[in-house]
Amino acid sequence: MKAARAPRADKTSVKLLVVRDGEIEDSSIERLPDHLRSGDLLAVNDAATLPASLPARDVRNNRVELRLTKQLDERVWQAAVFGAGDWRTPTEDRLSPPCFAQGEEILIAPDFRARVRGEDRLSGRLLDLEFNLSGAELWRSLYQHGKPVQYSYIEDELKLWSVQNVYSSRPWAVEMPSAGHALSWRLLLKLIRKGVQIVPLTHGAGLSSTGDVKIDQALPLAERFEIPLSTMEAVRRTSAGAGRVIAVGTSVVRALESVGSELSGFTTLKLGPGYERKIVNGLLTGTHDVSESHYKLLRAFLPENILARVNRHLERQDYLTHEFGDLCLILAE
């Protein structure tokens, strides 16, 4: 399948493939209300997208790129480190970064730097970094020097506003929770008028690729989530009634399916073949190639034979993939 290479100027043109009871139907995002019913609940991830790519240099003046993965403390973040180059080079072809010793500094700007606190056991390219700034100064510097994470299939450099959803709130996501990219306020209001309840949660969507085999095989990494009590109560009422709980994106699935006694924390849940869903009945998601990790996540909703048929149909009908691509609505009754 072909990748969407730029943000959509007209989001009403986004295609929607509907999968229900083993049957597939071509539709459009504008017809989403036709496929949902009164009493259904749509849960969205309201995490705003950070400028999580930071160009930097080590103490020997080697160029590197830091891609933040998650915040661990007031000053401390985890980041994947890349060698020289930028988003124009495919991640798997990027140069490896230099090795960093504990305590070594990485320079982002004259007044903005990070000290290496240690590396993850998974890979030496996954570092815990302590910034020299905190609070408003740290956030101001991140937004001043950072850029959105992007990949080589995109035509031009992305603007930060182009990787936000209309309901974006707290800056927790390092990549856009892209399943919601085509949901406009007009479309959301149309759903509400039909009787579909829309509720938010916040999930820090992480990196989708690093080019490091060890890291990529482990994706998604542990990600922070927080679910408002009002959202969880609405989900439980829907589950107890005749409505369906439909997640906008796999990040929402991971958050809802990770709920225990606490409504916040870090989830390490892996979706895939054999996973038995407890809460979520449906999924609005982007389209992805069979070689990507996201394809395996969908096995929590569809058996392999139907998923393969869906993929063949997406290819024949020229659906576009990735964050600005077309969408798929899976209704698993």
How far apart, in Å, do the first and last CA atoms of the chain sit? 28
**pLDDT, the chain, mean:** 95
**What fold does the segment set 2-49+157-331 form as a domain?**
QueA-like (3.40.1780)
Q: In what order do the strands lie in the sheet with 197-203?
A: 23-28, 15-20, 327-331, 282-286, 245-248, 41-45, 197-203, 223-226, 264-267
User: pTM of the predicted model, to two decimals?
Assistant: 0.95
29 to 50, 156, 187: CA distances (angstroms): 26, 25, 9
What one-character-per-residue DSSP string does 17-65 give? EEEETTEEEEEEGGGHHHHS-TT-EEEEE-PEEP--EEEEEETT--EEE
**Residue-level pLDDT at 260:** 86
pLDDT tens, 108-150? 999 999 999 999 999 999 999 999 999 999 999 999 999 999 9
The secondary structure element, H or E, covering residue 158 is: none
Q: Which two tokens stand for residue 305?
A: 């034979």
| Residue ranges of domains in the chain | 2-49+157-331, 53-145
- Cβ contact 166:200 at 8 Å: no
Identify the CATH homologous superfamily for domain 53-145. Answer: QueA-like (2.40.10.240)
Q: Which amino acid, one-letter code, is at 160?
A: L
Q: Which amino acid, one-letter code, is at 315?
A: E
pLDDT tens, 226-267? 999 999 999 999 999 989 999 999 999 999 999 988 999 999
Residue 303's Cβ-count burial label (10 Å; 0-12, 13-18, 19+) is exposed
Band (pLDDT 50/70/90 cuts) for residue 332 is: confident
